[in-house]
Amino acid sequence: MSEPAQRRRQEQEAASSEVAEVAPGVLRLQLPIQFTGLGHVNCYALVDEAGVALVDAGMPGRATWKAIGERLEAAGIELEAVHSVIVTHSHPDHFGSAELLAKRAGADLIVERSFQTWLDRPQPSDSPYVEMARTGRTPWGGIPFEWSRRQRLGHRLARHGLAPYARPPRPTRRLHHGEQLQLAGRSWRALHTPGHTGDHLCLYDEEAGVLLSGDHVLPTITPHIGGITPLADPLGTFAASLAGLLQLGVTTVLPAHGHPFSDLAGRVRQILAHHDRRLASLREAAGGGEESVVELARRLFPARLRGMMAESETYAHLEFLRLRGEAERFERGGELCYRVDSGGGSSATSAALDCGRHS
């Protein structure tokens, strides 16, 4: 996550053991996580006559598995009643326990069409992953990237006794953008919302205006937009998917971290403004000179936030400017460097507005 946490944010609160009905037929079960500073992930249970669909199943591991059991019991849901496990995107706090859960429940495992975790073998089209696996370096040089292939991760998990809890999900169903699902007694539309990851999925209940937003829109934290992704323009793509949501008439947002909220348009504006401020700081930090991604990230982020995620986000912002003719990139001593036009005017907000106009 990309914003410094001066105060405790909703997304950092410890998981509550309370089961709450947050929309008709939709229960929130909070699972504990300790991941990039977050305190919980919301697992939503969509209940109907056919049984239950669970959206996002938390990190891999015994603690999550125990919490899932306790929350299901508190909600009066038998494991066997779970007919679908839906994963919003390929980050471990969302997919970690999904395979085990789907297997034990005999449930379908449902994801977006392009879903792929870093535990899966990279496809030739996912150039950054293939390149990183080959060279052991991030696309911008910088810190050598420990490319944890299946074996290495497997060994580590086995050492901690986690192997059965951490299988990469094997989806049984992959959703296309616009596909309809019958859950909680009504129809939900699958929305492909790339940006935070290339395979991010939201579900939208048109009738009640309820959006299961995953990490695409969070109430008080800006989702990390990184450069290690199959997306060529992660920030521009993210802005476009945010703009797409504003056409829908959403009245209730159920995020994967934090509490439900209603002002989607307001939150989208804040998130875009955050990226616009970051772009402005980047122009200022670059000062019209030629700098490496690593150096620019160092200037933009405070010491405690530096590292891979800061560099990755800086890279995504630099590529956003480059693709709009406001930066040039070149290589210097194995590191990617940029010359940024200090007077450029492109913004995430204008990228989103452009999309809104075209759709």
Residues near Zn ion, by CB under 5 A? 93, 215
In the complex, least distance from residue 2 CB atom to Zn ion, rounded to whole angstroms? 13
- Comparing CB distances to Zn ion, the nearer of 11 and 126 is 11
Note whether 256 and 218 are within 8 A (CB): yes
**Smallest gap, in angstroms, from Cβ of residue 10 to Zn ion?**
13
Choose between 93 and 319: whose C-beta lies nearer to Zn ion: 93
Taking Cα atoms as reference points, which of 241, 247, 210, 250 lies closest to residue 223? 241
Nearest distance, CB of residue 317 and Zn ion, angstroms: 21
Q: Is residue 99 classed as helix, strand or coil in its secondary structure?
A: helix
Q: Report in angstroms how near the CB of residue 327 gets to Zn ion at its nearest.
A: 29
Two structure tokens written together for 1 = 């996550």
Q: Are 236 and 351 in contact (CB under 8 A)?
A: yes
Rank residues 93 and 233 by Cβ distance to Zn ion and give the closer one. Answer: 93
- Rank residues 205 and 215 by Cβ distance to Zn ion and give the closer one: 215
Q: What are phi and psi of 116, to 5 degrees?
A: -160, 125
The 10 Å Cβ neighbour count of residue 8 is 10
Residue that the structure tokens 């999900």 belong to: 169
CA-based radius of gyration for the chain: 20
Minimum distance from CB of 218 to Zn ion (Å)?
Answer: 8
DSSP secondary structure, 258-302, as one string: S--BS-HHHHHHHHHHHHHHHHHHHHHHHTTSEEEHHHHHHHHS-
Q: Tokens at residue 134, please?
A: 């080959």
In angstroms, what is the minimal distance from the CB of 89 to Zn ion?
A: 8
- Shorter beta-carbon distance to Zn ion: residue 215 or 295: 215
Between 126 and 215, CB nearer to Zn ion? 215
